[in-house]
């Protein structure tokens, strides 16, 4: 009987170890991939803007969408499209039209850094810019032309969606995650 108890105890111990291991594996499998990972993650690829250099695919995805968003906004400003965001970006656009694109590049880098760092980009992606309230308040950020209202922020989200589509991000679930990130920023950004 003692041998049976020892065997039963050993079997119970092995079974509980397998259960714990299987639960741990399930927990790991249940953890959703970050948005950064879904956009390509840390896989290194050739940087199309910098020949001979490599960039993380997730960062490249963000940079591509950010740059396309800026291009769409500027295009609407240039043609005078109704409801364009020209007032918001007036200081940066004015400089760019004068031949100084430095602040446009800084804007692109800051947005790419912000989204990469805050959606799972890990230690290789950091954001050191202003917090969202300060970044979107002209009194604290001279590169911002005016405070945003809800309609203008909705317009911005529309630009991001169009830019995502231009860059091959068309999966509705993935776009929904991007919109959720943007919506999580509405309160500090919309100040009017």
What is the pLDDT, as a whole number, of residue 169? Answer: 93
Asked whether the predicted pLDDT for residue 9 surpasses 70, the reply is no
Share the mean pLDDT of the chain: 86
Assess whether pLDDT exceeds 80 at residue 30.
no
Residue 18 has pLDDT above 80, yes or no: no
Distance CA 37, CA 122 (A): 10
Predicted pLDDT of residue 98 = 87
pLDDT digits (tens, 9 = 90+) for 31-55: 789 999 999 999 999 999 999 999 9
Mean pLDDT of 111-123: 94
So what's the pLDDT on residue 73? 95
Give the number of other Cβ atoms within 10 Å of residue 64's Cβ: 20
Segment 10-25 mean pLDDT = 38
pLDDT in tens, 60-100: 999 999 999 999 999 999 899 999 999 999 998 888 888 88
Distance in angstroms (rounded) separating the CA atoms of residues 66 and 54 = 19
12: Cβ contacts below 8 Å, ≥ 6 apart: none
In this predicted structure, the answer to whether residue 17 has a pLDDT above a threshold of 60 is no
pLDDT of residue 7: 35
Of 41, 69, 75, 37, nearest in space to 165 by CA: 69
């Amino acid at each position: 009987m003692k041998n049976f108890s020892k065997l039963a105890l050993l079997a119970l111990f092995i079974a509980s170890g397998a259960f714990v291991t299987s639960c741990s594996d399930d927990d790991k499998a249940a953890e959703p991939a970050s948005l950064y990972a879904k956009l390509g993650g840390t896989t290194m690829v050739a940087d199309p803007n910098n020949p001979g250099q490599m960039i993380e695919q997730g960062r490249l995805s963000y940079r591509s969408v950010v740059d396309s968003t800026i291009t769409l906004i500027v295009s609407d400003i240039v043609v005078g499209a109704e409801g364009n965001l020209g007032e918001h970006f007036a200081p940066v656009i004015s400089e760019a039209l004068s031949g100084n694109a430095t602040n446009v590049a800084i804007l692109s880098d800051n947005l790419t850094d912000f989204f990469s760092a805050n959606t799972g980009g890990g230690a290789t992606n950091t954001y050191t810019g202003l917090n969202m309230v300060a970044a979107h308040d002209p009194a604290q950020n001279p590169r911002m032309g005016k405070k945003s209202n809800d309609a203008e922020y909705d317009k911005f989200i529309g630009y991001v969606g169009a830019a995502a589509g231009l860059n091959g991000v068309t999966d509705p679930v993935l776009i929904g995650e991007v919109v959720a990130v943007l919506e999580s920023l509405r309160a500090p950004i919309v100040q009017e």
